[in-house]
Structure 1
Amino acid sequence: MTGYDDYGMPVGAYEHSEAESLTHQAWRVARAFVVYKVQPKVRMVSGKWSWRRVLSVGNLLILVWWLTLYWGERTVFRDSVSACRWEEWEKWRSNANPHRLVFVADPQLVDPHTYPGRPWPLSTLTVKYTDMYMTRTFSGIQMTLYPDSVVFLGDLFDGGREWSTRTTKSPEEQYRKFGNNFWLREYDRFGRIFFGHWRDGGSLPRRGQPGRKILSHLPGNHDLGFGKGIQASVRKRYIAYFGDGNRMDILGNHTFVSLDSVSLSALGQENPEPVEELWRPAMNFLDGAKEQRQRLVQEELRVMRGLKRTLPFQHDIMEGSKLGAELPRFVDPVTEFPTILLSHVPLYRSQGTPCGPLREHWPPTPWAKDQTEPWENDDRNAIAVRGGYQYQNVLHKEITKQIAEKVGDIQYAFSGDDHDYCEVVHRGYASAGGGIKEITVKSISWAMGVRKPGVVLVSMWNPVDEKGSSLEKDAYESTLQTHLCLLPDQLSIFIRYAMLLGFTIFVLAIRAALIASRGPQPSPAEAPLLPVSENASSAENEKAALSSQHADNTQDSTGSHSSNSSLASAGSNLQVRNMNSRTRSVSPNGGYGLPKMQPGQPLVQYAGYYGTPEDTEKKVKTWGNVTTKKKPKKTGLALWSQELRNSILWVGTIVLSWYFWLLWNG
C-alpha cells in the first residue's frame, strides 16, 4: 500500500532524484534576473531611444565637461612631463648611457604658516590641491622619465622652523600651539607625497647604472631658519630624520658637494661666536672638502674595478708618538671627477645680475632699438640682493669666496630658495676654469608665486678609465647637460573650469527660457482614455443627439452646464467619452438619477446615463493639509526657474561625480 507524507506526495518519490547543485541554482537565478529585470529595462530604454534624446543640450554639456575635466586632471599633466623626455633634448652620441638626475626645489608643503589668515574651507582646499599637484607631477616624473637620482634642494616644509620641539618653543606666539607632533605629521605627509611615489616607475636601476637614489638631506631656511635665527634643537630634529646637510656623493662620475648654507650663514652675521655650534660643522666640512673629495673618487674607482670600496692601510713603520693618530691609508694618484656644489641659498652676485630669458616672473627688460648685447645689469630680471626675517636671497660675498676656495674646482652649482629660474656664470671666484655656472631651480609647487612650476633635469655622461681620466674629453666640452622642465599651470586650469561653468549656466538659462516661452506641455496622462472616432455609427449619432437634447433641457431648467457621456461635433462627428459621466449619483432616492422615459424610445438610449451635471460634478476631497486638487502648472518666470534648477542639478550631479572620481583616483 502506498504511503503519503504530510505534503500529499508518495513516500520515497524523491529518494532517487539528485539534489540541484549550487552552480545550477545560481545559473537559474542569474537567468531569471536577466529575463525579468534586465531585458524589460533594455526594451524600455531602446524603445525611447532617439538621436534627439542623445544629443540634448544637457548631454552635450556633460560630454564637454567630461572631456575638459579629463584634460585638466590627466592629459595636461601627462603631456607636460612627456614633453621633457630625455631623448628630446639630450645631445650625446648614440652609444652613450648617461646618468639622469632630477633637481626638485622648494616644495614648501602648505601649512598654517603659509596663509595664516586664510579661512576654512579655503585653507583646507589649498592644502589638498597643492599636495595633489605635487603628487601627480612627481609620480609622472617617475613613471615617464624614470630618473636614476632625485635630489631636493631644501625648503621641504614652509613652517618647519616654527614648530616647537620637545625642549624649545617657537619664537612666534601664534605658532607655539604647533608642537613636535605636528612636525612629525608634516614629515609623514612629505613622505606620502614623495617617498611614497618614488617607486611608481619601478625600483630596478637602468642598464649600466649602479642603482637609484633619492636625496633630501639639504635644509632650507623654512626648514631650519637662517643664520643666528636657527634653533639648535630644530636643526638636530631635521638631521635626525633627513640626514646631515653637509655631505658628498658620487653620481654619474661627478662629485656632488652638499652644503648647509643656511647654518653656515651665521658666520657672516654680527657676533657669531655664541652660535658656533650652528656654523662650525659646515666650516669643518669645508676645511676637509678637498681630501674627502679625493678619497671618494678613489673609492668609486676601486668599486668600478671590482675591488673593495675601503682603501687599504699603508704598510710602513710608524713612530710610537703617531700611533694615536689616524692610520695612513694607501692612496692612488687619480684624476678627480667634475665637482658640483649644492646649496639652498644662491651664491653671491652683484645687484642687477640678470638671470636670463627663462625667468618667468620677471623676464628680461626689452632691448633698445640699437642694442646688440644683453643688459649687463637688469634689476627687473635679477635676484634682489637683500634679506629679512629668517631669510637672505644670496649668501654673503666672503662666505661665497671661502666656499669656492675650500671646495675647489667647482664647475656647476645648483640652488633653490628663489622659487623662479635663474642662470648665471660666476667669474669672480675660484673654479675649474670658465667660471661657476649656477642654476637656481624653480619651485615644484604652484603656491609659491610662479604660474608654471618646474624641475631641472640633468644628464651626465663622463666615462672614465681606471685612473679617473675622462674618455670623452675631446669629444664634448662638457660632461653635463641641463633642461628646464615646466609643469602645468594649475591656476590656468581653474580659470578654464570657471569659464566653462559660466558658459554652462548661460546655455542652460537660454534653454529654460525657450521652454518657458512655449508654456507648459500636456503630459501623457491627460490624453483621452478612449479612442476618438470620426466615422460614428447611426445608433451612436442618434444617441448623441438625444443626449444633447436632454442636456439642453436640463440647462434651461437649472441654468447649469451639463456633462454628457459623449460629445458630438457637428462638423466632424468626433466622439469622446467623458470620464465624469461614469460617476454614480450619491442618492438612490431619485432612482439613481435616471431621466423620465419617453414613450416609444428604446431603453438602450438611456444606457450609460447617471445623473445631471450637478450630480456628476466631481468634488475635491481633503484630508488635513493634503488635497486631491491638482496644482496649477507653472508658467513664465516660475517655469523658467524650475527648468534651470532641474537642468543644473542634472548636469552638476553627473559632472561632479566624474570630477570626484578623477580626484579620488589621483
Structure 2
Amino acid sequence: MWNLTAVLCLVWAATLLYGEMFAFWVPSFWSCSWPHLRHRSSSPSSSRMSGQEYPSDYVKVAVLTDPQVMDRTSLHLAPKSLALEIVQFYTDLFMRRATLASVLPLQPDVILFLGDYFDGGPILTDEEWQESWNRFKHMFNLNMIGSSSTRVYYLPGNHDIGYAAVCFHMPEVVKRYEKEFGPRNYQFRVGKVDFIAVDAQTLDGSSQGNLTTATWDFVKNVSRDVNSTPRVLLTHIPLYRPDGSSCGPYRSSPIINQRVVHSDRNQEIQYQNYITEQSSNLLLDMVKPVLVLSGHDHDQCTVTHMSKNGKVREHTVGTISWQQGNLHPSFMLLSASNLVVHNLSSSDEAVKTHLCFLPSQLYIYLWYLSLFVLTLLLLLLWPTNGSRYFDGIIGHIRSLITGLFSRVTMKEKNEDEDCEYEMIWDAEGTMHLVKRALKAPTKPSSERSQVERGKAVIRPTAKKQTSQEPDGAVSLDVNVPGGLGLGLDASVKLQSRTHKSKTRVVIRRLLRAFRSLTVIAAVNVPLYMMLLFKDWIDK
C-alpha cells in the first residue's frame, strides 16, 4: 500500500508542476516564436545568411487583448464575497502567469493592448476603477516593464469607455480613461511601420457628437499624410464582414453575424459587434493599411477585406483570459520591418504575424478533478496484498508458459513408463528389442472387496475425527425439531459474523485510504501553495 501511495505522490507532484508551471513555459520554449525567425528557418536560401544580422531587421511586438479584469459586474455574486474573490484571484493569476512565463520570456520590444482592460469600466466608481487598474498593472507586470526599454501602447475598448451612447452621456468616463491610458486616437511608429490607433466605439456615433467628430478628424489627418511607410490599423471592434464569413482554422466558437443595437431615445449605438459597412470601407480607403488588428470578439478570426487599394487582411485576436468564453486563450506575435519596404501592397514584407495559444486552464482543472477521483478509487479498492496479488498473476503466467513447453517432454516420459522392452533373436542370431505395453495388474475380487470395505470403515472414522461429536448428535440435528432451531441459530450467527467482518473490512479500507490521502496531501499541498504564489508575488 505504501508503494501505491508513493507512486500517487509522484503522479500528483508531476501533475501540479505541469499544470501550474510547465504548461505556461510551452509557448515561449516550444510552440511559439517570432514570425521573422520562423520565416528565416523555413527559407535557408534567404539573401541574408547571417543569423545575428537578420533578427535586427525586425522589431518584436506582442499583441494582447480583452483581459477584462473581473469586478462586481462580472458575475451574479455579491461584491467582496469570498466566491468572487476566489474567481478574481484565479483569473488574475492565469494572466499574470501567461505574462511572466509565456510573453515576457520572448523579450518583446513593444507590447500592444487592443482594449477591454476592465469588465464594467464605465459604471465603476472611481475607487473601484482604481482598484481594477492596480490589478491590471500587477497581472501584466507593468511596473517592471515601465522601468525597462519595452514600450507599451493602449487602445480603448467598449468595456473601458462604453459604446457611443455611453460616451455621449458620460464624458467623465472618457476623461478618466485618457488620464491613465493616454489619447484614444493616435499614431506611433515601430521600426519602419506606422500603427494607427482608432477609437472604434465612436466611429458610428452621431455626427453631432464631439467624440465622433474628433475620431474622424484624426482619420482624415492620417489620410492626408502621404508617405511610403506601410500602416497597420488598430481598432478594438472588428471591421464589417458579410454574415457567415469564414474565420479560418483557429476559431473555436460559432461565428457571430452583424448586430447593432440603437438607443430608443437618441438612436445612439448601445451595442455593436462589428463596425458598420460604411465606416469600415471609409477606414480602409482613407488609412490604406496593409494589415488590420482587432479584438472584441474574444475568439480568433482571420478575414480578407477588399478595398480600393487591394486586399487587406484583418486578424481578430482572441482574449488572453480563460474566463471570457474562449477555452483556448491566445496572444499574437508581430514582427514589424525595420527596413524600408518599397512594395506597400504586400503586407508580408512589412509585417509578419504568428498566433500563440496559452494553456487551457479549464482542461487542467478537469484533469485535477479526474485524478482526484482516480486516487480515491485506487486507495479504496486496492487489495491489501496488492504487490503479492500482482506477483501471483505474473507467477501464474510464467507457470502457464512453462507448462506449454514441458507438455511434450512429459508425454514422451509417460509413454516410456507405461511400456516394456522384450529381447527377440531371429534365425540368423540377431537380437531385436520389441516395445510392448505393460498389462495393468488385476487384483483379486477379495482384495477389491477388502479395499471397498476398508474405505467404508474409514469414512465414519474420519467424520468422527473431524466433527468430534457422536453420531447421535448428527441424527438429532436432522430428525429432532429442536435440532433445526439450533441449526438456524448457527446460520444467523454465521451471517452476523460475516456482516461484522465486512464492516471491519470497509472501516479498515477507509482508514487506510485516509492515511494515504493524508500523506499525499502533506507532500503536494505545500508544493501547490508554493507554485500558486511564486508568480503572484512581485519580483
User: Could you state the TM-score of these two structures normalised by the residue count of structure 2?
Assistant: 0.69
The aligned counterpart of 1:114 is: 74
Alignment correspondent of 2:108:
147
C-alpha displacement at 1:638, in angstroms?
2.8
Q: Does 1:74 align with 2:21?
A: yes
Contact 2:310/2:345, CA 8 A, preserved across alignment:
no
> Could you say which structure has the greater relative contact order, defined with CA pairs below 8 angstroms and 6 or more residues apart?
2
Structure 2 counterpart SS, 1:266: coil
Residues 475 and 124 of structure 1: CA distance in aligned 2, closer, same or farther (over 3 Å): closer
Aligned-partner SS, 2:364: helix
Q: Residue in 2 aligned with 1:350?
A: 242
Per the alignment, do residues 197 and 237 of structure 1 end up closer, same or farther by CA in structure 2, a change over 3 Å counting?
A: closer
In 2, Cα distance between the equivalents of 1:192 and 1:71? 24
Secondary structure, in 3 states, of the residue corresponding to 2:67?
coil
Residue pair 2:112, 2:152 contacting (<8 A) in 1 also: yes
Q: How does 1:200-211 map to 2 (within 5 A)?
A: 203-204=148-149
* Paired residue secondary structure (1:130): helix
- CA shift, 1:642, in A, is 2.2
User: 2:163 aligned with 1:226, yes or no?
Assistant: yes
More divergent stretch after superposition (181-190 vs 79-88)? 79-88
Query: Contact (CA 8 Å) 1:462, 1:472: kept in 2 or not?
Result: no
3-state secondary structure, aligned to 1:110: coil
Partner of 1:664: 533
Q: Find the residue that maps to 1:288 and give its secondary structure.
A: helix
Give CA-to-partner distance per residue, 1:461-489, whole Å, 9 cap, x none. 2413xxxxx36889996221111111111
The percent identity for this pair of structures is: 29
Distance 2:108 2:376 in 1: 45
> Against the structure 1 CA distance between its residues 485 and 117, is the aligned structure 2 distance closer, same or farther, given a 3 Å change threshold?
same
CA positional deviation for 1:511: 4.2
Note the C-alpha offset of 1:494. 0.7
**1:121 Cα deviation from its structure 2 partner:** 3.9
Q: Residue 459 of structure 1 corresponds to which residue in structure 2?
A: 335
Query: Which residues of 2 match residues 512-551 of structure 1 at below 5 A?
Result: none
Q: Given residue 330 of structure 2, which amino acid in structure 1 is its aligned partner?
A: G
| 1-structure distance, mates of 2:138, 2:216 | 34
Tell me, yes or no, if the aligned pair for 1:153 and 1:344 is still in contact at 8 Å. yes
Offset of residue 512 of structure 1: 7.8
Map Cα deviations across residues 530-571 of structure 1 (whole Å, 9 max, x no partner).
xxxxxxxxxxxxxxxxxxxxxxxxxxxxxxxxxxxxxxxxxx
Q: Which whole-Å deviations, capped at 9, do the CAs of 1:353-381 have from their partners, x for residues lacking one?
A: 2111121224xxxxxxxxxxxxxxxxxxx
Q: What pairs with 1:178-257 in structure 2 (closer than 5 Å)? A: 179-196=125-142, 199=145, 203-204=148-149, 212-216=150-154, 218-230=155-167, 231-257=170-196
The 1:498–1:118 alpha-carbon spacing in structure 2 relative to 1, beyond 3 Å, is farther
Q: In structure 2, how many angstroms separate the alpha carbons of the residues matched to 1:648 and 1:118?
A: 34
Distance 1:114-1:512 versus aligned 2 partners, 3 A rule: farther
- The reply to whether residue 338 of structure 1 matches residue 283 of structure 2 is no
User: Conserved in 2, the CA contact under 8 Å of 1:135 and 1:197?
Assistant: no
Look up the SS of the partner of 2:310 in the other structure.
Answer: coil
**Distance (whole Å) between structure 2 residues aligned to residue 476 and residue 132 of structure 1:** 36
SS in 2 for 1:491: helix
- Please report how far the alpha carbon of residue 142 of structure 1 lies from its aligned counterpart in structure 2 after TM superposition: 4.3
**Aligned in 2, Cα 1:346/1:472: closer, same or farther, shift over 3 Å?**
closer
Q: Which of 250, 274, 280 is matched with 1:394 structurally?
A: 274
3-state secondary structure, aligned to 2:204: helix
**Aligned-pair CA distance for 1:58:** 1.5
Q: Which letter maps to 2:131?
A: R
- How far apart are 1:420 and its partner, in Å? 0.7
Equivalent position amino acid for 2:257 in 1: A
Q: 2:136 & 2:13 partners in 1: Cα distance? A: 31
| Residue matched to 1:479 | 350
Greater fraction strand: 2
Distance 2:165 2:200 in 1: 12
Pairing of 1:503-518 with structure 2 (within 5 A)? 503-511=374-382
**AA matched with 1:154:** G
Larger-gyration structure (1/2) = 1
1:655 alignment partner AA: N
Q: 1:90 aligns with which of 39, 44, 57?
A: 39
**Contact persistence 2:24–2:102 (CA under 8 A):** no
Is the CA contact (8 Å cut-off) linking 2:193 and 2:337 kept in structure 1? Answer: no
Structure 2: distance between partners of 1:339 and 1:472 = 12
Aligned to 1:123: 84
Shift of 1:222: 0.8
- CA pair 118-425 structure 1, distance change in 2 beyond 3 A: farther
Cα distance in structure 2, aligned partners of 1:473 and 1:401 = 19
Per-residue CA deviation, residues 3-36 of structure 1 (Å, 9 max, x unaligned), is xxxxxxxxxxxxxxxxxxxxxxxxxxxxxxxxxx
TM-score (norm 1): 0.56
Which of these residues, 220, 223, 228, is aligned with residue 290 of structure 1?
A: 223
Supply the distance in 1 between the matched residues of 2:343 and 2:271 (Cα, whole angstroms).
42
Work out the CA distance in 2 between the residues paired with 1:477 and 1:495: 40
Confirm or deny: 8 A CA contact 1:441 1:456 kept in the other structure. yes
SS in 2 for 1:341: strand
Count how many residue pairs are aligned between Structure 1 and Structure 2. 397
Distance 1:104 1:57 in 2: 44
What is the Cα deviation at residue 383 of structure 1? 3.7
Residue matched to 2:213: 280
Q: Distance in 1 between matches of 2:118 and 2:385?
A: 54
Deviation string, structure 1 residues 442-473 (Cα, Å, up to 9, x no partner): 11011111111101111122413xxxxx3688
Please report the RMSD computed on the Cα atoms of aligned residues, expressed in angstroms: 2.7
Q: What is the CA–CA distance in structure 2 between the aligned matches of 1:395 and 1:643, rounded to whole Å?
A: 63
1:498 paired to 2:369: yes
User: CA separation of 1:198/1:415 partners in 2, compared to 1, >3 Å: closer, same or farther?
Assistant: farther
- 1:266-309 Cα distance to aligned partner (Å, 9 max, x none): 13xxxx53xx1231221221222234x45xxxxxxxxxxxxxxx
| Residues 458 and 214 (structure 1), Cα distance of their counterparts in 2 relative to 1, 3 Å cut | same
> Which ranges in structure 1 are unaligned for 5 or more consecutive residues?
1-51, 164-178, 205-211, 295-334, 363-381, 465-469, 516-633
- Residues 461 and 77 of structure 1: CA distance in aligned 2, closer, same or farther (over 3 Å): same
Q: Cα–Cα, structure 1 residues 356 and 118, in superposed 2: closer, same or farther, change >3 Å? A: farther
Match of 1:638? 507
